[in-house]
Structure 1
Amino acid sequence: MEPKSKIKEKNPEFQGVADRLLQIRNDVFVRATNREIGLKDGLGNKLTQAEMANLANCKAPTWAEYESAKALPAPKVIQALIELGYDANWILCGKGQMRLADGDWTLNKIALNTVIQAVMTEIEKTGAKLSPVGISGIIGVAYDSYRKNDDVTALATQVGQLVVIASMGGQQ
């Protein structure tokens, strides 16, 4: 039996997300140049993957995998990008605007982490095979609901229902 290669293959399904992450890296550079976002002085003529990885709460090789369509961004990376003012729905699905409107991105980190954990746990528990669009849709709906109700029991029930619906083709 041959050992498995640790080199990840490019996944064509991730290409849209990869393209949008590169757009974000370029936009962060422009915003830093215009002093909209504070970054260390001494930026060259572009923002490197390592610099972007630092802002996105991940390691440079991981960010490189995201930009080359070899992996999807982890929830903590999406959260960091939201905090920089980028829309998670746009990142994962290509829908809406790249940047959140001022004031729209006040994020309840505890609520978002609770929702992401509930969604990922349910997906793992059920073995559901969902696309990035399906997963982000579930997270978005559940997050909005949870912020309004703050009810963990209702969240678990809702996430369970949403995962079942999505796995039957409603969000894939």
Structure 2
Amino acid sequence: MSKNVAERLRELRESLGLSQRQMSTVAGLSSRGWQKIESGLSIPGGQTLMKLMEYGFNPAWILTGHGLMTLSDVSGRLVENKSTQSSSIACDPELLSRINGIISRVYTSMDAHISPEDMGRLAAGKYASILQASSDPAERLIMAKLFEIELKQDFKVSGNDA
């Protein structure tokens, strides 16, 4: 059976042997914030994913379940520090936060529901496509804004078809 974001984060926390309170501190969240994420009421934002990445956990695995739980270099060793991570993993926390915010805002404004798992998949997919399309941070933010416009248009088109 496939796990959702909340179940993967519980697995991650348990692999560290931490309580929810301890994990909230590691992730830079309030205890209640971590509880909401682990119970599936919320998904981790870009800053939380970056914090977990600093500890060697793979944000793509957290959001989608694809790949390995931990970030590894080519020899399979766990990535142990920020300098190693920054040379082997390109991550733009501002972009990831923006994409999560866009999806949340658009779905809320359209009075629509999206599960945390589907939101994670949608955010991860759009994030990957934007990263692949451009290496310029300013250009990436423009592409995120275009994504917001496209998402709103998709809602309008599907609303007219219904």
The TM-score with structure 1 as length reference comes to: 0.60
The amino acid across from 2:144 in the alignment is: L
**CA 1:88–1:127 in 2, change beyond 3 Å: closer, same or farther?**
farther
- The structure having more radius of gyration, on CA atoms, is 1
Q: Is the 8 A contact 1:93 1:133 kept in 2?
A: yes
Three-state SS of the structure 2 residue aligned to 1:110 is: helix
Return the alpha-carbon distance in structure 1 between the equivalents of residues 34 and 142 of structure 2: 35
- Residue 95 (str. 1) matches residue 83 (str. 2): no
> Structure 1: 5+ residue runs without aligned partners?
1-14, 30-45
| Paired AA for residue 152 in structure 1 | L
2:41 match: secondary structure: coil
Alignment size in residue pairs: 135
Give me the CA root mean square deviation.
3.0
Return the offset for 1:55.
Answer: 0.8
Distance 1:94 1:135, change over 3 A: same
Match of 2:145 in 1: 156
Q: Write out aligned runs for 1:69-80 (5 A).
A: 69=39, 71-75=41-45, 76-80=47-51
SS in 2 for 1:128: coil
8 Å CA contact 2:53–2:59 kept in 1: the answer is yes
Correspondence for 1:3: none
Structure 1 runs of 4+ with >4 Å offset: none
Maintained 8 Å contact 1:83/1:107: no
Letter in 1 for 2:95: A
**Normalised TM-score (structure 2):** 0.63
Aligned identity (percent) is 22
The structure carrying a bigger helix percent of its residues is 2
Alpha-carbon distance between aligned partners in 2 of 1:109 and 1:16, rounded to the nearest angstrom: 22
Mapping of residues 10-159 of structure 1, within 5 Å: 16-27=4-15, 29=16, 46-67=17-38, 69=39, 71-75=41-45, 76-102=47-73, 103=85, 105-147=89-131, 148-149=133-134, 150-159=139-148
Contact 2:64–2:117 (8 Å) recurs in 1: yes
